[in-house]
Amino acid sequence: MRSSQFLITTLKEAPADAEVISQKLMLRAGLIRRLASGVYTWTPMGLRTLRKVEGIVRDEMNRAGALEMLMPAVQPFELWQESGRGDQYGPELLRFKDRHQREFVIGPTHEEVVTDFVRKEIKSYRQLPLHLYQIQTKFRDEIRPRFGVMRGREFLMKDGYSFHTSFEDLQREYRVMFDTYHRIFTRLGLRFRAVAADTGSIGGTGSHEFHVLADSGEDDIAFCPDSDYAANVELAEALAPTTPRPAAGATMANVATPKKSRCEDVAEALNIPLSGLVKTLAIVPETAEGTNTGVVLLLLRGDHDLNEIKADKIEGIGAFRFAREEEVKETLGCIPGFIGPVGIKDGIRVIADRAVAVMADFACGANAYDTHLTGVNFGRDLPEPEVADIRNVVAGDPSPDGKGVLEIVRGIEVGHIFQLRTKYAEALGCTFLSEQGKAEVMEMGCYGIGVTRIVGSAIEQNHDDKGIAFPAAIAPFSVAIVPMGYHKSPAIQQAASELYEELIAAGFDVLLDDRNERPGVMFADMELIGIPQRLVIGEKGLAAGQIEVKGRRDTEASMIDRAGVVDYLRKSFAQ
RNA sequence: CGGCGUGUAGCGCAGCCUGGUAGCGCACUUGUCUGGGGGACAAGGGGUCGCAGGUUCGAAUCCUGUCACGCCGACCA
């Protein structure tokens, strides 16, 4: 491609509302343009990268035996009612009516559609297993779209669905996909990690997320450097401390803590470590009927954070919200900031984190304004609480597999694989006839990859002060030819064109920058866009039969023989 | 959904407090020079100041409403 025939729309300054680096660089490099909140146009330049990502995903899916298809982006809402997800999915589901007042949604995912397809087409065990996938535009009406393409509302996703006659066969396919995903992310040139994940509302058993490691990620991943353990912190178990609770030493006492309602302030005022403090969270479980079952107190160590997903899973808690100020006042007689588990009314359920359960002589709120208690002990000053794992693991916690200590890194979720089992097949009556001629419900797996998001996360991982440094596999062009004095020198024009043709013939994606721009502009643009190799043709080099080459990540350019350019590039991309 | 903030040329911003013919940089157009790191000079084009209403002789500026966008917040008790 010649620049003069292409569209290069680079910007010197990024729009002020761009937040993360990938978003700024994608905007500046002219890869995307925002049309509405969380909705982006992909420019010709940006689309080249998107298509390359797609191509690698497609290639590996096909290689693994999955069959590509294309389902509609628009789906009848009826299907969602049939699966029972219509109500559950909530406002993220973009719904609309057609001219006949029939309800439709723009698909945020396609379990229903694919299951409907399979139940109609597949009748016999002989036709199974079957793995269907598509690369489709999805729409999720996110509360807060942000980070550009990383948390957009409209995005491109590869979603695959497998159908099996048995759980064993599902598990086999799951392992195949686990390996396939490793191949895909490796080929894309990303640093990533597969982590055990919460199965969330989708249900099912086994599940892994694939995260690209980047500080701007929205997920915390706990992993053990000494073993292969890795899990989303949502899921990572905080083991119970192995050391027993020390004996009570201090007497309980009231301490004035005027206006100190934050844990940090209280700890400082009392001159104790944050970990010597117990913070009390008042929550209200919300049952399906919406009836109020009363306030429940959760106890966490001052330096720990609540894991809401773990709390959700406790018997009798389920979905919950934090108690409103009036509710706290009514139940405990005090405002949030000074509440505690001591001396509370009978019947209030108290659940302590495992780490709290082994604390002695701790401090906590006194249920009185501007007052905290010190020297508090379970069994003496208040009843022994219920104990559960309700906190997020932190760096330094023992690994749940018993093999070392956890570290925590940030990650961007770019892939997710699930063993759905029979949830949708059952709801939608997706069955097959077994060898015995009996109708059985199919076992299902589902496997997603955020194609759009991969581009953003690749940039988060690969950039410098000059711009994007794309992995070669997904750069919009692999080689840029930058001629010096192109518009003045027929010799340069000819040499550039010859080189261009030669590289195209050799199979490279070449961009010949034949714009009538000054060299600085061309260099800056090629670097901003992130083209992996740059070739400069100048009068002097030409006379000596040489070409200047510079890799995007190299600090210095070097001269090579004109005749050896193709070999040089092949070698550089083979690495 | 709550709190805060911002809407002025394609992008980045000033002007608003203290009303009086709308500005700067980049980008764009034309010309000349320049030609290895976002070049110089000259001449241009482009804005119902988010929208609606109000106050006023007069509103980008003050008031009210509204829409859009952004940030923060559900937990740090």
pLDDT in tens, A98-126: 889 999 999 999 999 999 999 999 999 99
Instruction: Record the tokens describing residue A330, joined without a space.
Output: 């009514």
Say how far apart CA A1 and CA A51 lie, in whole Å: 16
Smallest CA–C1' separation from A547, nucleotide = B36
**Quick check: A261 and A436 in contact, CB under 8 A?**
no
Please tell me the predicted confidence (pLDDT) of residue A88. Answer: 74
Split at pLDDT 50, 70, 90, the class of A1 is: very high
Instruction: Record the tokens describing residue A21, joined without a space.
Output: 């680096």
Q: What interface predicted TM-score (ipTM) does this complex get?
A: 0.89
Residue spans of alpha helices (H) in A146-240 = 167-187
Say how far apart CA A349 and CA A130 lie, in whole Å: 49
Please tell me the predicted confidence (pLDDT) of residue A268. Answer: 79
The separation, in Å, between residue A52 CA and nucleotide B36 C1' comes to 32
**Quick check: A419 and A208 in contact, CB under 8 A?**
no
Q: What is the number of other CB atoms lying within 10 angstroms of the CB of residue A265? A: 13
Please tell me the predicted confidence (pLDDT) of residue A477. Answer: 98
Average pLDDT in the A167-177 region? 96
Distances (CA, A) of A227 to A399, A404, A546: 9, 8, 50
Q: Which residue is nearest to nucleotide B1 (CA to C1')?
A: A143
Please tell me the predicted confidence (pLDDT) of residue A199. Answer: 62
**Quick check: A393 and A408 in contact, CB under 8 A?**
yes
Rg of the Cα atoms in chain A: 29
**Pick the residue with more confidence: A556 or A202?**
A556
Please tell me the predicted confidence (pLDDT) of residue A205. Answer: 60
User: Which residues of chain A (89-128) touch nucleic strand B at CB < 7 A?
Assistant: none
Q: Is the CB of A38 under 7 A from strand B?
A: yes
User: Which residues of chain A (308-367) touch nucleic strand B at CB < 7 A?
Assistant: 321-323, 328, 336-340, 365
Q: Which amino acid is present at A552?
A: R
Residue A137 has pLDDT above 60, yes or no: yes
Residue spans of alpha helices (H) in A439-505 = 451-461, 490-505
% of chain A with per-residue pLDDT over 70: 97
Residue A292 has pLDDT above 60, yes or no: no
**Pick the residue with more confidence: A190 or A274?**
A190
User: Which residues of chain A (134-173) touch nucleic strand B at CB < 7 A?
Assistant: 143-146
What is the model's pTM? 0.88
Give the residue from A550, A552, A411 showing the smallest Cα distance to A474.
A552
Of A116-125, A239-248, A562-571, give the lowest mean pLDDT range: A239-248
Mean pLDDT, chain A, integer: 90
Please tell me the predicted confidence (pLDDT) of residue A91. Answer: 76
Residue A570 has pLDDT above 90, yes or no: yes
Please tell me the predicted confidence (pLDDT) of residue A283. Answer: 83
Residue A511 has pLDDT above 70, yes or no: yes
Give the residue from A45, A60, A128, A138 showing the smallest Cα distance to A94.
A138
b/e sequence A276-293, b meaning 16+ C-beta within 10 Å:
bbbbbbbbbbeeeeeeee
**Pick the residue with more confidence: A224 or A289?**
A224
The separation, in Å, between residue A229 CA and nucleotide B54 C1' comes to 66
Say how far apart CA A549 and CA A481 lie, in whole Å: 9
